[in-house]
């Protein structure tokens, strides 16, 4: 629980550093330091936790070893994120300290979402996570695209908040409680209409945040328009937290009614995989392709919502970790590029072998090639769903879509390794120093480690 | 979770005096306005129909873009104003929450003040550059 | 000794890391020899393990060595563990043995290439993945190796990436392999859903409850077979293999002849118990194998690129292996894998030596008369050709003969299949000797510059050729049929513990008598000789420009059958080759693959209009989605 | 009064908000429509609170109001930014990001 307080207080400290510190470098160092503190707190939380579920704040929150592990994985990825992107974050605009502060505030929301026990906190967590993201999306004030991304994100996000609240209220009307663990009684008998409507609205709202089709439309535009320094945060850490919340809610509360809402989840999974993968094929810009690929990846994460068993719980840890690391890697390379189109990557392997290698491993992982974390992530997801009796055609469809994804991921690899270019692919004033490369290599090594020894995240 | 005893345990009859007072107030205002309309003399001139602005002649349209400063102050006001909502439940349960509650509210106010310090330092409330 | 099995894949992995990280630091000598020595070390360990397995009681020789627990969820767990038994040790020897020879050869062949270090790193990575594939004790590890070799093949085909068509070849190989992998993956999921495990031993043990020819086992075996068609270049996914010749020639020898392409055969032999209870699938495999063998052999008769001939030949030989699997003759399939690895690696390396001597020329019409200039290469190549054509007592004869024997005795239509197989074997002899005669006989047809430059390859390259030539000659000894009275069929005995159940299930409809067996062999040898003679008659003095005159000359030589041959066999074959090449391969198969790509692009193009950029429209999509889901929830369930 | 009446009223308000958000192109009006949706929820929460005799829903209402205020202030800031850039608050003016 300490981690929620820690991230909020660190956010406040970073916010104040904006008015009390003048050096850009000082602020950046402070942010890096803060991310390390967060990681330390997360590790302490893991060591203190036993397998029992402990309630906090009069039962509003609950932690156990799983949430502690998830928090630690997320805190670790946040640390990597700050390490890899702090240079670029300060370059986005004038209010550099505020960007770091907003990231930490969003992280507070993330940690609330991983361990809430009351729909009240679900709502607060989602809002605390989303509102900073609306600002971050629009933080490049000189850029119309950033404005547009922010407006779209905000309008649609606020719209989906309405559905979230209506869903929560209807469920409350059906059960008389906001407590997630007490709603499990709902399994008995035919559910009331308002309960079903409430579940539908919750699927809509959480599906929206998780960018599941048909509520995904904001994703490409927002990820494309936002400053590239913030897109990986939105696409990885925020996304994983939303999925953790999604799964926790449906596992604890609505598992008894699974027979009724499974059909919706299947429809959403199929649509998400189809739209994400097929549309990504057409894209010319790597950044936009990655936005679609994040939709496609969400399709795989949704399998965990269907299965709701132990495998999927571990799967979300593994898939989440490998997905976050891979997204971080590929964006860390992308942000150094001059040209975001596929041709912009031509000949990168010759000029910047470390960057190209990191990007290649990240793309392998996203595509689910074995010996990278992504393979076992996908494997856990499909296996978990299969154990829970998912129709086999959905699994076959998912494997087919994963095969399509190879096509567009490998376009980047092909450009990097099998094409040549006279010009430098990277931005001339991009900082590609040794610490950056070291971080990138660590990131890549972890991705491979997850592919060789996946138990490392599931056992700890 | 904090419980609002009054909201839950009161019966509709308990609210009757308030309703009565409200009714009398509305009726009084209505009677007074109606009476002046009926009793007062009426002479309409063009000068009288013009908006009264402390004797100064009005110019232009009221729907003009305003300086961004107004907007900023207005937003900040809304934010701080709405936060005060949380004092209502505290006020209702002031006694039963005791010192623990007091300390928590103090913490809340401290966070509030940190925000305020930030705004001041950032210069958001400075009217002139 | 078996517990040291982890050393076998470990050495190439270390070699990969050293070569990969030190490719700009270390000198060429070290970069070449360290990876080669790594593979040699693996070979030595494999040899020791092989001896160990040999001396053990065959029933208990199969050992599963667990390295660590991959993951463990509930009662489902996957181990990172290796299976040491008769089948895997046999493949270990082939992979590391031939791998080592090809590594040594590469040091000479690639000596002038700027990507020397990268090349050896990829090569070692390939060996590592191939060893994983063969050693894995469950389908997951096998799949990891399976994907890994595909990836390395992709990297090595596109090794000379500056030519665009080479990149496209790499991409084509990868995509076709992925289609196959899809089938494999689905099969793995089906297996998990039914058995709750992927360990070979447990799956095969609990196979007993499955209804033979039931929908489940058919689905599993067909999906596995789809995986095999991708990796082993069978119809309809074979077109990537000829294109894959864009890679360096030693790569073609190692990956696209000796090891990776036989992974499909290995996988099916490994799962032979599943296939045995799915005779329908076996029948499909037989058909596919036969068709592939015939079509590829036909196309091979008309190719002018030295490597393309060998590539189609590989496809055709793989077809023979699948035919063997199709009739349940798993021993014969493994036997042919082994002998084919010897002589096809030899032929590829020989062709590499020729290309090296000709400064990169691959068109056989530009060669000719090389037998005097490149003696070692010529003699070893000749041995390879004799071996593949099936002339006793070279290795190819025994393995091909065993397949033919099983075809002949397989059911009522066995003789038809046998006859068709014989046609393919005839064409094999024909196109291989056509290649030999055009390349090494006659007059030199290249430029003067080339003629001046032609030289025998260095010893580093010829030594592996000689070793492989010896193996090609003597390799057949591991499976001499009992009819020759030299004792038992060694390979059959060796694989007995693995194939026992399948062999018991396989009923030979009409067992051949010893005389019948000898008769069939005689026919096979005669047919092979006929093929060679035909090739000799047409191509002895091949002249690229005046081919007709050459044939006319033979007529003058009173070769009375020539014209008859020409009209009855040569011309129809060539016509068929052209038709198959242009219509079947380029239009139907490539067309289908490209068509899928086009369909995808078209679909993508349609779907992108959803993303209009208007927030109002986005909100509308969202609400429409909610209404649709509500209908789904409340009215359809 | 039966709880259903509140439910119907609130859902009607909610749908009004949705339809408003769909029909209008003015960003501020859409924002108001979204607020209407939130207020529909507030109404329903208070009704349920009374129905279940449970005050926690009323606390929830407070939180919704506060969060909505925060959200609106961010939203207005974004809209001001947009107005300064394109001199319009029509949501469909900004459509550079598309396929």
Residue C493 has pLDDT above 60, yes or no: yes
C67–chain A nearest CA distance, Å: 11
Report CA dihedral (A211, A217, A220, A226) to the nearest 10 degrees: -90
As given in the structure block, the two tokens for residue A3 are 């981690």
Tell me which chain D residues have a C-beta less than 8 angstroms from the C-beta of A134: 74-75, 78
8 A C-beta contact, residue C266 and residue C337:
yes
pLDDT of residue B1: 41
Q: How many structural domains compose chain D?
A: 1
- The pLDDT of residue B65 is 65
Chain A interface includes D20 (CB < 8 A): no
Encoding tokens for residue D14?
């909610």
A425: phi > 0 → left, psi -120 to 50 → alpha, else beta; which? alpha
Q: Is the pLDDT of residue C521 over 50?
A: yes
- Identify the pLDDT of residue C548: 45
Q: What is the pLDDT of residues C597-621, one digit of tens each?
A: 788 888 887 877 778 888 888 899 9
Residue D22 placed within a domain:
yes
Q: At what angle do helices C306-326 and C330-357 cross, to 10 degrees?
A: 180
Q: For residue C209, what is the enclosing H or E element?
A: none
> What whole-number distance in Å separates Cα of residue C149 and Cα of residue C169?
16
- Lowest mean pLDDT across A17-26, C307-316, C514-523: C514-523
D66: containing domain: 3-86
Give the nearest partner residue to A279 out of C148, C608, C636, using CB atoms: C608
- The reply to whether A424 touches chain D by the CB within 8 Å rule is no
Could you give the CA distance from residue A83 to residue A103 in angstroms, rounded to a whole number?
13
Biggest CA pair distance of chain C: 88
Q: Which CATH architecture has domain B66-129?
A: Up-down Bundle (1.20)
Tell me the backbone φ, ψ of residue A55, rounded to 5 degrees: -95, 145
Provide the 10 A C-beta neighbour count for residue C204.
17
Q: Token pair for residue C611?
A: 């993303």
Of C580, A176, C594, nearest to D50 by C-alpha is A176
Strand locations in C171-251, DSSP E? none
Tell me the per-residue pLDDT of C162-181, one tens digit each, with 9 for 90 and over. Answer: 666 777 777 777 777 888 88
Q: Does the beta-carbon distance from B118 to A58 stay under 8 Å?
A: no
Return the residue in D16, D20, D21 with the most chain C beta carbons within 10 A, the one to mutate for interface testing: D21
The helix/strand/coil state of A372 is coil
Tens digit of pLDDT for each residue in C333-380?
999 999 999 989 999 888 888 888 877 778 777 777 777 788 888 888
Cite the beta strand spans of A69-142 per DSSP E: none
Q: What's the pLDDT band for A234 if we cut at 50, 70, 90?
A: very high
Mutate to test the interface with C, among A163, A217, A349 (most CBs of C within 10 A): A217
For the residues A19-32, what does the mean pLDDT come to? 89
Is there a contact between A302 and A269 (Cβ–Cβ < 8 Å)?
A: yes
Mean pLDDT (chain A, rounded): 90
For residues A400 and C506, give the distance between their C-alpha atoms in angstroms, rounded to a whole number: 35
Neighbours of chain B (3+ CB pairs under 8 A): A, D
User: Which chains are adjacent to chain D, needing at least 3 Cβ pairs under 8 Å?
Assistant: A, B, C
Assigned domain for D28 exists: yes
Report the share of chain A in percent with pLDDT over 90.
Answer: 57
Nearest of A365, A375, A355, A373 to residue A417 by alpha carbon? A355
Q: Do the two chains A and C touch, given a threshold of 8 Å on CB pairs and at least 3 pairs?
A: yes
Which of B25-34, B71-80, C507-516: highest mean pLDDT? Answer: B25-34
- Tell me the Cα Rg of chain C: 26
- Retrieve residue C230's tokens: 């991708």
Residue C564: per-residue pLDDT: 57
Give pLDDT, residue D10: 93
Q: Which residues contact B15 (CB under 8 A, 6 or more apart)?
A: none
DSSP per-residue string spanning C484-526: GSSSS-HHHHHHHHHHHHHHHHPPPSSPPPHHHHHHHHHHHHH
The larger pLDDT score, comparing residue A286 to residue C108, is at A286
Residue C606 near chain D (CB below 8 Å) = no
How far, in Å, CA of C531 to CA of C315, rounded? 19
Cβ-nearest to C633 among A151, A261, A458? A261
Distance from CA of A110 to the nearest CA of B (A): 20
Give the pLDDT score at C392. Answer: 80
- DSSP line for C100-163: HHHHHHHHHHTTT-TTHHHHHHHHHHHHHHHHHHHHBSBHHHHHHHHHHHHHHHHHHHTSSTTS
Q: Is the dihedral of CA A364, A370, A371, A375 positive or negative?
A: positive
Domain boundaries defined on chain B: 11-42, 66-129
Confidence grade of residue C531 (pLDDT, cut at 50, 70, 90): confident
pLDDT of residue A142: 87
Say which range, A290-299, C295-304, D29-38, has the weakest mean pLDDT: C295-304
Q: Is the pLDDT of residue C554 over 70?
A: no
Among candidates D18, D95, D98 on the partner chain, residue whose Cβ is nearest the Cβ of C623: D18
Q: Using beta carbons and an 8 Å cutoff, which residues of D are at the interface with C?
A: 18, 21-22, 25, 91-92, 94-99
Contact between C385 and C259 (Cβ < 8 Å): no
Cβ atoms of A56 and A63 within 8 Å: the answer is yes
pLDDT reported for residue B6: 47
In contact, C430 and C303? CB cutoff 8 Å: no
Alpha-carbon distance B3 to A233, whole Å?
38
pLDDT at C71 > cutoff 70: yes
Q: How high is the pLDDT of residue C485?
A: 66
Per-residue pLDDT, averaged over A38-44, amounts to: 93
Please state, in angstroms and as integers, the Cα–Cα distance from residue B77 to each residue in A353, B84, B105, B116, following that order: 54, 11, 20, 11
Task: Give the model's confidence band at A77: pLDDT under 50 very low, under 70 low, under 90 confident, else very high.
Answer: very high
Give which of D73, D87, D89 to mutate to test B binding, by max B Cβ within 10 Å: D73
Question: For residue C543, what pLDDT is reported?
Answer: 62
Residues of chain B with Cβ-Cβ distance to D51 below 8 Å are: none
Torsion-angle region of B54 (φ positive above 0: left; ψ -120 to 50: alpha; else: beta) = left
Residue of A267, A282, A454 lying closest to C601 (CB–CB): A282
Contacts of D97 in chain C (CB under 8 A): 613
What digits encode the pLDDT tens for the residues C392-401? 878 888 888 8
Chain A residues close to C185, C-beta within 8 Å: 399
Contact present, A135 and A150 (Cβ < 8 Å): yes
Report the residue of A139, A173, A226, A276 to disrupt the D interface, i.e. the one with the largest count of D CBs within 10 Å. Answer: A173
Residue D34 is part of a domain; what is its CATH number?
1.10.287.3510
Mean pLDDT for A284-299 is 94
Interchain contact D79–A (C-beta under 8 A): yes
pLDDT of residue A380: 87
Q: Up-side HSE of residue C514: CA atoms within 13 Å toward CB?
A: 5
Looking at residue A199, its pLDDT comes to 92
Both tokens assigned to C252 = 């073609």
| B and C touch per CB criterion (3+ pairs under 8 A) | no
Q: Do B118 and A19 touch (CB under 8 A)?
A: yes
Domain span at A273: 2-459
Burial-class residue A190 by CB neighbours within 10 Å (0-12, 13-18, 19+): exposed
Cβ within 8 Å, pair D59-B2:
yes
Q: What is the mean pLDDT of residues C153-164?
A: 78
* pLDDT band per the 50, 70, 90 thresholds, residue A227: very high
CB contact (8 A) between residue B121 and residue A15: no
Residue B41 and residue B99 in contact, taking contact as beta carbons nearer than 8 Å: no
Other Cβ atoms within 10 Å of C7 Cβ, number? 15
A95 reaches D (C-beta below 8 A): no
ipTM value: 0.86
Q: Examine the pLDDT at C507 and tell me if it is beyond 70.
A: no
Q: What is the mean pLDDT of each run of 10 residues along chain D (99 residues)?
A: 87 93 90 94 94 90 93 91 86 81
Inter-chain touch C612–D25, beta carbons under 8 Å:
no
> For residue C153, what pLDDT is reported?
87
Gap from B82 CA to chain D (nearest CA, Å): 6
Closest-CA distance of chain A to residue B19, Å = 29
Beta bridge partners of A341: A285
Average predicted confidence (pLDDT) for chain C: 81
Question: Tokens 């839950």 label which residue?
Answer: B8
* Residue D95 included in any domain: no
Peptide bond into B20 cis (omega under 30): no
What is the share, in percent, of chain C residues with pLDDT greater than 90?
Answer: 8
Q: Are D57 and D49 in contact (CB under 8 A)?
A: yes
Contact D17, D40 (CB under 8 A): yes
User: Distance from D92 to chain A by nearest Cα, in Å?
Assistant: 10
Token pair recorded at residue A207:
């599906």
Cα–Cα distances (Å) from A153 to A138, A202, C332, C622, in that order, read 9, 19, 64, 13
Measured between alpha carbons, how far is C351 from C374 in angstroms, rounded to an integer? Answer: 11
Q: Given an 8 Å threshold on Cβ–Cβ distance, is A12 in contact with B114?
A: yes
Mean pLDDT, residues C187-209 taken together: 81
**Nearest by Cα to C539 from C380, C302, C362:** C302
Tokens describing residue A328: 């971080």
- With a cut of 60, say whether residue A92 has pLDDT above it: yes
Q: How confident is the model at residue C473 (pLDDT cuts 50, 70, 90)?
A: confident
How far apart are the C-alpha atoms of A412 and A342, rounded to whole Å?
A: 6
The CA distance from C31 to C618, in Å, is 57
Which residues are registered as beta bridge partners of D26?
D90
Residue A123 near residue A164, CB atoms below 8 Å: yes
Q: Does A163 touch chain C (CB under 8 A)?
A: yes
B121 in A contact zone (CB under 8 Å): yes
pLDDT of residue C567: 64
pLDDT, residue C509, reads: 47
pLDDT band at C457 (very low <50, low <70, confident <90, very high): confident
Distance from CA of A312 to the nearest CA of D (A): 32
The helix/strand/coil state of A426 is strand
Q: Which residue has the tokens 């030295």?
A: C306
The percent of residues above 70 in pLDDT, for chain C, comes to 88
Predicted pLDDT at C300 = 82
Which of D31, D42, D52, D69 is best to mutate for the B interface (most B CBs within 10 A)? D69
As to burial, measured by CB atoms within 10 angstroms (0-12 exposed, 13-18 middle, 19+ buried), residue C381 is buried
C582 in D contact zone (CB under 8 Å): no
A215 sits in the region (left: phi over 0; alpha: psi -120 to 50; else beta) called: alpha
pLDDT at C240 over 90: no
The answer to whether residue B13 neighbours chain D at the CB level (below 8 Å) is: no
Q: What pLDDT sits at residue A459? A: 65
Number of domains making up chain A: 1
Q: Dihedrals φ, ψ of C64, to 5°? A: -105, 120
3-state secondary structure of C80: strand
Confidence of residue C551 (pLDDT cuts 50, 70, 90): very low
Helix axis angle, C86-109 relative to C459-474, nearest 10°?
A: 150
Give contacts of A158 with chain D, Cβ < 8 Å.
31, 34, 71, 75
Nearest-10 crossing angle of helices C263-270, C116-135: 20
């Amino acid at each position: 629980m300490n981690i929620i307080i820690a991230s909020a207080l660190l956010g406040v400290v970073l916010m104040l550093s904006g008015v009390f510190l003048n050096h850009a470098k000082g602020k950046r160092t402070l942010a890096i330091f803060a991310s390390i503190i967060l990681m330390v707190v997360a590790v302490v939380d893991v060591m203190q936790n036993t397998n029992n579920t402990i309630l906090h704040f009069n039962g509003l929150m609950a932690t156990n070893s799983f949430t502690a592990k998830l928090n630690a994985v997320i805190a670790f990825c946040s640390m990597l994120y700050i390490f890899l992107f702090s240079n670029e974050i300060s370059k986005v605009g004038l209010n550099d300290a505020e960007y770091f502060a907003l990231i930490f505030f969003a992280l507070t929301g993330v940690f609330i979402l991983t361990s809430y026990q009351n729909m009240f906190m679900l709502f607060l967590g989602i809002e605390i996570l989303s509102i900073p993201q609306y600002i971050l999306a629009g933080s490049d004030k000189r850029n119309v695209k950033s404005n547009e991304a922010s407006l779209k994100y905000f309008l649609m996000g606020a719209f989906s908040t309405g559905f979230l609240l209506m869903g929560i209220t209807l469920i409350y009307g059906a059960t008389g409680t906001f407590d997630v663990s007490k709603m499990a009684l709902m399994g008995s008998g035919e559910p009331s209409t308002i309960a079903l409507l409430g579940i539908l609205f919750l699927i809509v709202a959480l599906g929206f945040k998780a960018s599941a089709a048909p509520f995904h439309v904001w994703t490409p535009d927002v990820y494309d328009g936002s400053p590239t320094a913030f897109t990986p945060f939105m696409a990885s850490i925020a996304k994983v937290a939303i999925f953790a919340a999604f799964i926790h809610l449906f596992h604890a509360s609505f598992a008894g009614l699974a027979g009724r809402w499974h059909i919706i989840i299947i429809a959403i999974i199929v649509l998400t995989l189809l739209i994400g993968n097929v549309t990504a094929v057409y894209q010319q810009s790597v950044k936009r392709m990655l936005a679609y690929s994040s939709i496609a990846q969400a399709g795989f994460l949704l399998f965990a919502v269907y299965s709701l068993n132990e495998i999927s719980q571990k799967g979300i840890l593994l898939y989440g970790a490998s997905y976050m690391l891979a997204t971080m890697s590929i964006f860390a390379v992308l942000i150094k590029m001059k040209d975001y189109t596929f041709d912009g990557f031509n000949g990168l392997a010759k000029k910047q072998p470390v960057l190209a290698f990191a990007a290649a491993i990240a793309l392998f992982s996203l595509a689910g090639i074995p010996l990278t974390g992504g393979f076992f992530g996908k494997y856990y997801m499909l296996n978990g769903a299969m154990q829970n009796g998912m129709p086999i055609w959905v699994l076959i469809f998912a494997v087919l879509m994963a095969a399509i994804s190879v096509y567009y991921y490998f376009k980047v690899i092909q450009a990097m390794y099998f094409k040549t270019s006279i010009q430098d692919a990277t931005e001339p004033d991009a900082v590609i120093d040794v610490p950056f490369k070291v971080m990138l290599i660590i990131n890549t090594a972890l991705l491979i480690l997850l592919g060789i020894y996946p138990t490392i995240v599931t056992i700890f | 979770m904090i419980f609002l005893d009054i909201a839950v345990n009161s019966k509709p009859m308990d609210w009757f005096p308030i309703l009565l007072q409200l009714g009398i107030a509305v009726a009084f205002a209505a009677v007074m306005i109606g009476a002046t309309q009926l009793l007062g003399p009426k002479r309409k001139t063009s000068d009288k129909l013009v908006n009264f602005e402390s004797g100064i002649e009005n110019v232009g349209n009221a729907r003009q873009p305003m300086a961004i400063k107004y907007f900023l102050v207005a937003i900040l006001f809304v934010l701080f104003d709405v936060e005060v909502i949380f004092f209502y439940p505290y006020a209702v349960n002031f006694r039963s929450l005791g010192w623990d509650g007091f300390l928590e509210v103090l913490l809340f106010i401290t966070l509030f003040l940190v925000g305020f310090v930030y705004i001041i330092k950032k210069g958001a409330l400075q009217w002139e550059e | 000794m078996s517990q040291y099995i982890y050393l076998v894949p470990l050495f190439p992995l270390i070699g990969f890391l050293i070569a990969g990280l030190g490719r700009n630091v270390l000198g060429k000598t070290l970069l070449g020899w360290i990876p080669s020595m790594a593979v040699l070390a693996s070979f030595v360990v494999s040899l020791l393990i092989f001896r160990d397995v040999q001396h053990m009681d065959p029933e208990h020789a199969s050992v599963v060595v667990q390295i660590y627990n991959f993951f463990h969820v509930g009662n489902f767990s996957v181990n990172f563990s290796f299976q040491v038994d008769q089948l895997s040790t046999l493949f270990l020897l082939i992979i590391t043995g031939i791998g080592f020879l090809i590594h040594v050869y590469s040091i000479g062949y690639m000596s002038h290439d700027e990507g020397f270090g990268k090349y050896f790193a990829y090569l070692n990575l390939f060996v590592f993945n191939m060893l994983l594939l063969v050693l894995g004790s469950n389908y997951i590890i096998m799949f990891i190796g399976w994907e890994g070799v595909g990836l390395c093949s992709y990297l090595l085909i596109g090794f000379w990436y500056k030519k665009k068509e080479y990149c496209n070849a790499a991409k084509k190989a990868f995509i076709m392999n992925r289609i196959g992998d899809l089938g494999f993956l689905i099969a793995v999921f089906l297996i998990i859903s039914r058995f709750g495990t992927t360990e070979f031993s447990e799956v095969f043990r609990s196979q007993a409850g499955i209804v033979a020819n039931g929908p489940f086992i058919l689905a599993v075996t067909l999906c596995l077979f789809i995986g095999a068609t991708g990796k082993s270049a069978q119809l309809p996914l074979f077109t990537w293999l000829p294109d894959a010749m864009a890679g360096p020639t030693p790569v073609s020898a190692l990956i696209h002849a000796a090891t990776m392409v036989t992974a499909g055969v290995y996988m099916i032999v490994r799962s032979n118990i599943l296939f045995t209870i799915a005779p329908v699938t076996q029948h499909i495999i037989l058909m596919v194998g036969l068709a592939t063998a015939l079509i590829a052999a036909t196309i091979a008769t008309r190719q002018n690129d030295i490597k393309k001939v060998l590539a189609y030949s590989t496809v055709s030989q793989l077809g023979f292996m699948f035919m063997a699997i199709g009739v349940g003759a798993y021993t014969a399939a493994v036997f042919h894998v082994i002998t084919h690895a010897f002589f096809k690696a030899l032929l590829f390396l020989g062709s590499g030596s020729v290309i090296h001597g000709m400064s990169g020329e691959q068109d056989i019409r530009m060669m000719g008369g090389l037998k005097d200039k490149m003696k070692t290469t010529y003699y070893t190549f000749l041995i390879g050709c004799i071996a593949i054509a099936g002339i006793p007592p070279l290795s190819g004869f025994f393995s091909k003969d065993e397949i033919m024997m099983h075809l002949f005795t397989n059911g009522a239509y066995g003789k038809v299949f046998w006859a068709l197989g014989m046609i393919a074997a005839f064409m094999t002899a024909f196109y291989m000797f056509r290649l030999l005669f055009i390349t090494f006989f006659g007059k030199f047809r290249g430029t003067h510059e080339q003629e001046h430059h032609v030289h025998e390859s260095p010893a580093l390259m010829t030594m592996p050729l000689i070793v492989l030539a010896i193996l090609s000659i003597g390799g057949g000894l591991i499976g001499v049929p009992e009819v020759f009275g030299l004792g038992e069929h060694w390979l059959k005995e060796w694989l007995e513990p693995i194939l026992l159940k399948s062999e018991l299930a396989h009923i030979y409809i009409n067992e051949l008598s010893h005389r019948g067996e000898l008769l069939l062999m005689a026919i096979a040898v005669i047919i092979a000789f006929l093929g060679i003679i035909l090739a000799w008659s047409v191509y002895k003095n091949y002249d690229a420009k005046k081919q007709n005159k050459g044939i006319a000359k033979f007529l003058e030589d009173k070769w009375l059958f020539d014209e008859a041959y020409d009209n009855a066999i040569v011309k129809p074959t060539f016509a068929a080759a052209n038709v198959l090449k242009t219509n079947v391969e380029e239009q139907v198969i490539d067309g289908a693959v490209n068509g899928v790509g086009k369909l995808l692009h078209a679909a993508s193009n349609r779907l992108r209009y959803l993303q209009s950029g208007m927030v109002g429209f986005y909100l509308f999509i969202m609400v429409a989605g909610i209404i649709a889901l509500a209908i789904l929830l409340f009215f359809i369930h | 009064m039966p709880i259903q009446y509140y439910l119907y009223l609130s859902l009607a308000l909610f749908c009004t908000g949705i339809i408003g958000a769909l029909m209008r192109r003015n960003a501020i009006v859409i924002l108001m429509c979204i607020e209407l949706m939130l207020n529909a929820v507030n109404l329903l929460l208070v009704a349920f609170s009374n129905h279940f005799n449970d005050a926690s829903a009323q606390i929830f209402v407070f939180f919704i109001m506060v969060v909505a205020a925060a959200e609106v202030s961010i939203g207005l800031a974004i809209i001001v930014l947009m107005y300064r850039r394109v001199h319009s608050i029509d949501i469909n003016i900004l459509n550079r990001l598309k396929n």
